[in-house]
Amino acid sequence: MIKNNDIMTDTFGRVHTYLRISLIERCNLRCTYCMPEEGVILSPRSHLMTYEEIYTIAKTFVDNGVTKIRLTGGEPLIRKDIPIILKKLSSLSVELSITTNAVTVDKFIDIFKANKLKSINVSLDTLDKEKFKEITRRNDFEKVYNNILLLVSEGFKVKINTVLIKGFNDDEIVDLIQLTKEIPVTIRFIEFMPFDGNKWNMEKMISYKEVMQYVNNSFSKKQVERLQDAPNDTSRNYKIKGYKGSFAIISSVTNPFCNSCNRLRLTADGQLKNCLFSLTESDILSALRAGNSIQPIIQKAVQAKFKIRGGMDTLKKLEEPKLHNQNRSMIAIGG
Ligand code: SAM
Ligand code: SF4
Please enumerate in sequence order all residues whose Cβ is within 8 A of that of 225, keeping only pairs 6 or more positions apart, or say none: 238, 239, 240, 241
Q: Identify the sign of the CA torsion 229, 16, 122, 308.
A: positive
**Segments in 138-289 forming alpha helices (H):** 141-153, 173-179, 208-218, 284-289
Distance, CA of 25 to CA of 36 (rounded, Å): 13
Q: Counting beta carbons within 10 angstroms of the beta carbon of residue 314, is it exposed (0 to 12), middle (13 to 18) or buried (19 or more)?
A: exposed
- Cα angle for residues 32, 188, 193 (degrees, 5° grid): 40
Mean pLDDT by 10 residues, the chain (335 residues): 70 95 95 86 92 98 97 96 98 98 98 97 98 96 98 98 96 98 98 80 91 97 95 91 97 85 95 91 97 97 90 76 69 72
Atom of ligand 1 nearest to the CA of 27: 1
Estimate to the nearest angstrom the gap between the alpha carbon of 277 and the chain centroid.
13
- Cα angle for residues 24, 69, 164 (degrees, 5° grid): 70
Question: What pLDDT, on a 0 to 100 scale, did the predictor assign at position 324?
Answer: 67
Residue pair 291/160 in contact by the 8 Å Cβ criterion: no
DSSP category for residue 210: H
Distance, CA of 50 to CA of 52 (rounded, Å): 5
Question: What pLDDT, on a 0 to 100 scale, did the predictor assign at position 320?
Answer: 75
Question: What pLDDT, on a 0 to 100 scale, did the predictor assign at position 92?
Answer: 98
Which of 245, 182, 171, 183 is closest to 214 using CA atoms? Answer: 171
* Phi, psi (deg, nearest 5) at residue 160: -105, 125
Question: What pLDDT, on a 0 to 100 scale, did the predictor assign at position 2?
Answer: 41
pTM score, two decimals? 0.94
Ligand 2 neighbours by CB, cut-off 6 Å:
27, 29-31, 34-35, 73-75, 101, 123, 331
Question: What pLDDT, on a 0 to 100 scale, did the predictor assign at position 323?
Answer: 67
User: What residue owns the CA closest to ligand 2's atom 8?
Assistant: 74
What separation, in Å, do the N-terminal and C-terminal C-alpha atoms of the chain show? 31
Torsion of the alpha carbons at 70, 133, 202 and 282, rounded to the nearest 10: 30
Distance, CA of 106 to CA of 17 (rounded, Å): 30
- Ligand 1 and 72: CB distance under 6 A: yes
Q: How many CB atoms lie within 10 A of CB 115?
A: 18
What tens digit of pLDDT does each residue of 59-85 get?
999 999 999 999 999 999 999 999 999
DSSP category for residue 76: G
Which of 230, 287, 273 is closest to 22 using CA atoms? Answer: 273
- Ligand 1 and 105: CB distance under 6 A: no
Residue pair 194/215 in contact by the 8 Å Cβ criterion: no
Q: How many CB atoms lie within 10 A of CB 266?
A: 28
CA of 190 to the centre of ligand 2 (A): 14
DSSP category for residue 184: -
Pairing of strands 282-283, 271-273: antiparallel
- Ligand 1 and 270: CB distance under 6 A: no
Question: What pLDDT, on a 0 to 100 scale, did the predictor assign at position 1?
Answer: 43
DSSP category for residue 55: H
Distance, CA of 20 to CA of 10 (rounded, Å): 17
**212: helix, coil or strand?**
helix
CA of 293 to the centre of ligand 2 (A): 33
Domains of the chain: 4-333 (3.20.20.70)
